[in-house]
Chains A and B, each alone.
Chain A
Amino acid sequence: MKKVLNRDQFPKVLGISVLVFLFSTLLLSAQEVGQTLVAVPTTEQATASTGGDVDKGKSLFNQNCAACHKLNDKATGPALAKIESRLADEGLDREWIYAWVKNSAGVIKSGDSYAAKLYAEYNNTAMTAFPTLSNGDIDNILAYTAAEPATPVVSAATIETIAAEPTSGISNNTILGALALVFALLVFMLFSVNKTLRRVMEANGVDLVKEHPKSVPIWRAFAKNQFLILVTAILLLLASGYFVYGWMMQVGVDQGYAPIQPIHYSHKVHAGANKIECKYCHSSARVSKHSGIPSLNVCMNCHKSINEYTGGPEGPSQEDLANGYTNEFYTNEIKKLYQAVGWDETNQKYTGESQPVEWVRIHNLPDFAYFNHSQHVSVAGIECQTCHGPVEEMEIMYQYSPLTMGWCINCHRETNIKVEGNEYYEKIHAELSKKYGVENLTAAQMGGLECGKCHY
């Protein structure tokens, strides 16, 4: 197993302080540039409107349509960019669109040839009727679909903004930098004082007498003193014993283990940027001993419509780019998912040829230790991050905790059990807390340190 140790923070700190030095002067002007950049597309969109409000249309589209439609790609339903002009080519007017959106099934039933064709093309799935949308709403949506999409403009200046942003204000790095500067200055001063003094000495003719009394070299004295050797040997043995023991104790402890997975799944993107709740995917953590790796059909709940990675409006960060995490990279990973689950993107169909994903397991508890997720997640209400660390910041998932018995026990000793609203605990908690004379019982006092609770 390959181990990634906690990365040394020093080069990073140095790099960032240099960045601070370089860009702090550019800070103000860059922010101004950013603001102007945001302002540009709005004006463009406003001018592109065709009898509807593009902004309102966008939000309506995202609320109602985006689950099945995309602007430029076929999804569950057809692509909708410039739909009105394309329908006009078929000889269908806006009235037809109103009718279709409000009750597509009705239009199909009425024997409309285009509607029937559409219905057949999309696997005989009728579009959900939206009777609540007014004609005005539909106008707005159409305006949005007709508008030229805003291409995100990524200039060097914006990247600089992002890089500089976290350092705004007086951070530790600034202070460290300043201290280093002062230290260098002091060293320089000491050096120059020494030089000056010597010069003065020479000028005054004072001769520096260097006397070397003939003495036994220290190593020989040491070698002669057998007691000292004995003590040193013992100390050395003890010290090496200590380190060997320390090294042995980390055998099998895979803290920081971050294997390369068959699909580059980024928790940072899913749990961090998109704020997906952990237990949406790891649903069995609520009821089972396993948190469960989500099956691919869970992925497809979202990825049926999300077939490419667009990232944030600001685009990938420089760090991401340095690691090769471009939008295309992520999109490629989504394609790997499609490959595995057997999803035919062009026809929006499952081919039935699936290839299960062989994830590399990160958290490997030995067989003789029983751990139950639901006990901790549902009963105790512990956050996933308590044991798994800041998963929402992990681009590559790694083992955050040591998962040793000492680590488990420690937490059991320190953590109070959550009794509120749990009828099971009522009686036992009242009796036990009285017995131990405490207000809140820890897991250990409830019996959470007994061998057989985890080993059977």
Chain B
Amino acid sequence: MASNKKYWKSEAELNPNDSIVETLRQNEFASEIPVDQFLGDKETLSATNTNRRDFLKYVGFSTAAASLAACEGPVIKSIPYVVQPDRIVPGVANYYATTIANGFDFASILVKTREGRPIKVENNTAAKVGGNANARVQASVLSLYDSTRLQGPMVNGEPIDWQAMDDAIKASLNALKVSGKQIVLLTQTYASPSTSRLVDEFTAQYGNVKHVTYDAISEDAALSAFEARYGERALPDYDFEKAEVIVSIGADFLSDWQGGGYDGGYSKGRIPKNGKMSRHVQFESNMSLTGANADKRVMVTPSQQMITLANLYAKLNGTSAGGELPENVQRAIDNVIVQIRSNPKGAVVVTGIDDVNAQAVVLAINEMLGSNAFDPKAPKYVRQGNDKAVNALIADMNSGNVGAMIMDGVNPMFSLPKAAEFAEGLKQVGLSVLFTTNYNETAEAVQYTAAANHYLESWGDLQIKKGHYSLAQPTIRQLFDTRQLQTSLLKWMGSDKSYYEFIKETWTTNVLNGSDWNQALQDGVFVPANEMMASMTESAIADPVVMAVRGDKEKQVESTNGEPEPVSAISIDSAVRSLANASIAGMELTLYPKVGMGDGQQASNPWLQEFPDPITRVSWDNYLTVSKTDAEKLGLINTHAANGGLDGSYAKLTVNGIILGNVPVVIQPGQAAGSMGLALGYGRKVGMKAEMQTGVNAYPLYQNFKSVQEVTVEKATGMHEFACIQLHQTLMGRGDIIKETNLEIFNTRDHSEWNIVPQVSLNHQEVPATTVDLWDSFDRSVGHHFNMSIDLNACTGCGACVIACHAENNVPVVGKLEVRKSRDMHWLRIDRYYSSEESFEDDDLKKEGFDGLWGEKGSLDGFRQLEHPANNPQVAFQPVMCQHCNHAPCETVCPVAATSHSRQGQNHMAYNRCVGTRYCANNCPYKVRRFNWFLYNNNDEFDFHMNNDLGKMVINPDVNVRSRGVMEKCSMCIQSTQKTILDAKRDGRVIKDGEFQTACSSACSNGAIVFGDVNDTESKVAALKESERMYHLLEHVGTKPNVFYHVQVRNTNEA
């Protein structure tokens, strides 16, 4: 029986007069389909007599024409130079020594140029100080080719030419000279003798000029403490190679603490030699790179750090300072005291506490110990920022005292906590000029935006440390209509000198002392003969240039401040007392610079954005690091999404009334409960491509330039999608990946006990896995046989090699979404492992002790526990690239023989032969093969440097740019080994040890990665292969890799 029920789809249908219902009854869609949009003008479309058949004809014809045309190659033009420069030979690289000094990173470097284009940054091994290029310096060459760079000067957002701008500025400056209003130079730290002299001359000409140095991330406390004690505004230098006991209280000296650059010396002291290595104890709250490398890491909150330091000082003097500390911290301090007492000269204490008292106490301790590693006589000048002067400047601006403001290398509207106040003040300044390479937050607020040179286009000089000078020379002509500040100052002073001539003048009169200018320029670094003598006899000679200049600056600061700075010595006793009384009631937030991003000035650099943080392994983001206990209290979670991505809760932070919403959260093992961490430098928006606008800006929380702030945290709604490339956190007791032992066992037992070779069963007998093989071995004793040695003791996980590899091998950037899907293209990754128990050793023991499935020792529960890192885990870093197995599993499964082995030990990958089956990647036990899921160049979906002509200038012409559907991996820099061989053949000589280098080995200033020919028995790598600490990754698989590692040894001697 049929039903009479009437079905209705929506309430509207009940109303018979509803127009929509009526239309829907007539048509399928309520509104007309917008065919016009894709078929163009309707009239012309109906007017044409193209019918379906014609259309098919056209399609057919154009397909045929296209396929015919494809048979013919394009006409390629070759355009030679009209006048070829003498030094450029097409196809041959030139190297220039220069210097980076961008206010945050200071280093002497070599720049590799091809046909006049800088393409790679390398370490300047001739430099005794500052010759290490970190990840950011390695990546800085890409910032030169940033397509968002300013291409010319602007006035109020409109383009202007330099002449007009110069005239206007000169007129204003001259007017100010008459009116007597202040002219302010607000700049980055230069540490440049010539710039100091230039500013003096500028001051002399215009009068009433004030030079304020501003560091986005301030080291004012350390500078002030040093000044109070030694009379010079500088930073003490440390040589950790000479230190046997290193005690660090919150100092992340392996990354950017006090200007950084300490990792090279540190690593040298970490390699056990003659049974000895340094002992490193770290008291810290955030899990830092330095803490991860420490032998003993003690979790303390920032306020406890102060009490720890006070106690350390008091106990070294046999007194007591008071203050409450947990028992384990007390015990750790007591142990440290014993170790320091036994070898006071070999000990060094450093601290990152952002407090003048703390810094003063540390100086006192080191002086008291007579530490060999501590050098206050030849201090470093890489940070000069003065918080008081900046604050005074903002006050001056708001009171209308400032007539002109010239800024260079700074972005105060982004990085100043008081940006709003600064903006208000800027409105009262008659003339505001900003020198910047990129359009940024401050450029929006100023009148004149002067497009500045990149450092690779500029002249410059630097005194990184007293008596250690370096020169910067341009390696390419300005790409755009840009000019550096110094040249402009000279112009505005009416001088016809170029800045080059000015530098040369400074150097001939003040620095060179008769030495050859050209030689200094070629070396990039210069140490005066008397300085070398001085450093040997340890009697420092005051540097005339810098002393004079610095003195002037101080005077100005004082006069404008109105309140003279107390340069008198800080009383250590009262300092200790105030430290011991430190306490913060609530949660403590530590703001820190991330290894990949620093202070944020290279935020539009895709290499650095995609660089995974060494600790959290998260790229393209900054985040709040929270301890597990606090996370549970606040309800913050981290989850793993189905596609392999990491998700995290959002949190809302409130510091002193300032609210920062939607900060993603990462639960960080080793974060001291009661403390949190957040990286500065992210969250740039203005002038950046949409893809590059990542993270949140933490600078507004950087109140009063203090890196530790009291914070209240609330959970916010929603989950953040991270791009994290390593989700597994622990090794789960698999001790054969990272082999570890401690110094005592290493010194006393046979290596078969601590460097255990895995056993396999052969004919029902347990034999070492290295002796069993499915395959016949090739004879590799003839010619070169390349091996790479990676010392886990020397590797700090800094990541310079990752970026160097990127630059050398044209590794594409894939973007946040792809990284999240584990499609990152890094040929070289640095795995980070946490231990699940107190140490990796305990993990192994626990796993060995499993008995049955259930119960107390059951493996079901046991493995589940092993998945989670300990509260304060041990951390290990392991760089992994293609292991170039002699018996490579990838080679046997390739259906088209695209990957094959060479006699020289390299596993070759012929991209043009690859058909993209990805069998090789599946069969690789090390997971080092990377697949091109997309075309990453000339593709708008991946709008990074390979999508524009400018960015492509960084590409290494000797290495192929891979296409879609092709597998790629580390080639052991075959282009560079082949070049070395060819050079030797051409010269008709034998290759010396050390000539063979890969991008990673030459970037590693820590000496962790050593590359060479093991058939050369004299070579360093051959000796390293014979070391007792040598082991191969996953030896039991029998792949016989050509990359080997060295067992990590920790100095766990507690007393």
On A, residues with C-beta under 8 Å from B are: 1, 251-252, 254, 259, 284, 287-290, 292-298, 340-342, 354, 356-361, 364, 366-370, 372, 374-375, 378-379, 421-428, 431-432, 435, 447, 450-453, 455-456
Contact = CB atoms under 8 A, between A and B. Distances in A.
Contacts of A364: 73, 76
A450 B902 contact: yes
B780 to A, nearest CB: 12
Give the interface SS of chain B, mostly helix, strand, loop or mixed.
loop
Given A358-B77, A428-B783, 14 more contacts: A284-B91, A287-B89, A287-B92, A288-B89, A289-B91, A295-B82, A341-B82, A356-B79, A360-B76, A370-B958, A424-B987, A425-B985, A432-B782, A451-B898
B853 interface: no
A294 B985 CA distance: 25
B909 interface: yes
Nearest to A418: B985
Contacts of A294: 80
Interface in B966-987: 971, 974-975, 978, 981-982, 984-987
B782 A424 contact: no
A292 B88 CA distance: 11
A96 to B, nearest CB: 38
14 contacts: A259-B75, A295-B80, A295-B84, A296-B81, A359-B77, A360-B75, A367-B960, A367-B961, A372-B982, A379-B985, A435-B779, A451-B913, A452-B908, A455-B911
Contacts of B77: 358-361
A372 B519 CA distance: 32
A450 B978 CA distance: 12
Contact of B986 (A254, A284, A287, A359): A287
Given A288-B90, A424-B984, A297 B83 contact: yes
Nearest to B912: A368
Nearest to A452: B908
Nearest 10 interchain pairs by C-beta: A452-B908, A288-B91, A295-B84, A295-B81, A290-B91, A368-B912, A293-B80, A451-B910, A361-B78, A289-B91
Contacts of B72: 1
Interface stretch (B219-227, B639-647, B918-926, B988-996): B988-996
B974 A456 contact: yes
Contacts of A1: 72-75
Contact of B782 (A341, A367, A435, A456): A435
A324 to B, nearest CB: 23
Contacts of B960: 367-368, 455-456
B80 A451 contact: no
Nearest to A293: B80
Nearest to B76: A361
A424 B77 CA distance: 38
B989 A423 contact: yes
Contacts of A298: 84
Interface string B291-331: 00000000000000000000000000000000000000000
B903 interface: yes
Contacts of A297: 81-84
A258 B828 CA distance: 45
B982 A450 contact: no
Contacts of A354: 82-83
A422 B982 CA distance: 12
A18 B91 CA distance: 52
A30 to B, nearest CB: 45
Given A1-B73, A340-B82, A424 B985 contact: yes
Contacts of B985: 375, 379, 422, 424-425
A350 B550 CA distance: 50
A431 B781 CA distance: 9
A370 B985 CA distance: 17
B906 interface: yes
Given A295-B81, A424-B984, A452 B76 contact: no
Interface in B38-88: 71-84
B506 interface: no
A294 B82 CA distance: 9
Contacts of A287: 89, 92, 986
Contacts of B910: 368, 451-452, 455
A303 to B, nearest CB: 13
A111 B90 CA distance: 49
Given A364-B76, A423-B990, A447-B903, A296 B83 contact: yes
B964 to A, nearest CB: 14
Nearest to A422: B988
Given A289-B91, A359-B77, A379-B986, A447 B902 contact: yes
A349 B779 CA distance: 65
A293 B913 CA distance: 31
Contacts of B978: 453
Contacts of A425: 985
A157 to B, nearest CB: 44
A374 B912 contact: no
B959 A456 contact: yes
Contacts of A431: 781-783
A118 to B, nearest CB: 28
Interface string B897-939: 0101011101011111100000000000000000000000000
A430 to B, nearest CB: 10
A447 B904 contact: yes
Contacts of A422: 985, 988
B909 to A, nearest CB: 7
A368 B90 CA distance: 18
Given A293-B80, A295-B82, A288 B959 contact: no
Contacts of B904: 447
Contacts of B991: 424
Contact of A356 (B80, B779, B988): B80
A38 to B, nearest CB: 42
B936 to A, nearest CB: 15
B960 to A, nearest CB: 5
A451 B71 CA distance: 26
Contact of A288 (B76, B79, B92, B908): B92
B76 A450 contact: no
Nearest to B75: A360
Interface string B704-722: 0000000000000000000
A314 to B, nearest CB: 34
A360 B782 CA distance: 44
Contacts of A369: 912
A453 B906 CA distance: 10
A166 B96 CA distance: 58
Contacts of B909: 452, 456
Contacts of A254: 73
B90 A290 contact: yes
A128 to B, nearest CB: 23
Contact of A450 (B73, B903, B984): B903
B80 A378 contact: no
B82 A374 contact: no
B908 A450 contact: yes
Contacts of B971: 452, 456
B782 A284 contact: no
Contacts of B903: 447, 450
A338 to B, nearest CB: 12
Contacts of B986: 287, 374, 378-379
A331 to B, nearest CB: 21
A121 B438 CA distance: 51
Contacts of B75: 1, 259, 360
B24 to A, nearest CB: 56
Contacts of B71: 251-252
Contacts of B900: 450-452
Nearest to A427: B990
Nearest to A254: B73
Contacts of A372: 982
Q: Which of B76, B779, B898, B985: most chain A Cβ within 10 A? A: B985
B990 A455 contact: no
Contacts of B982: 372, 374-375, 379
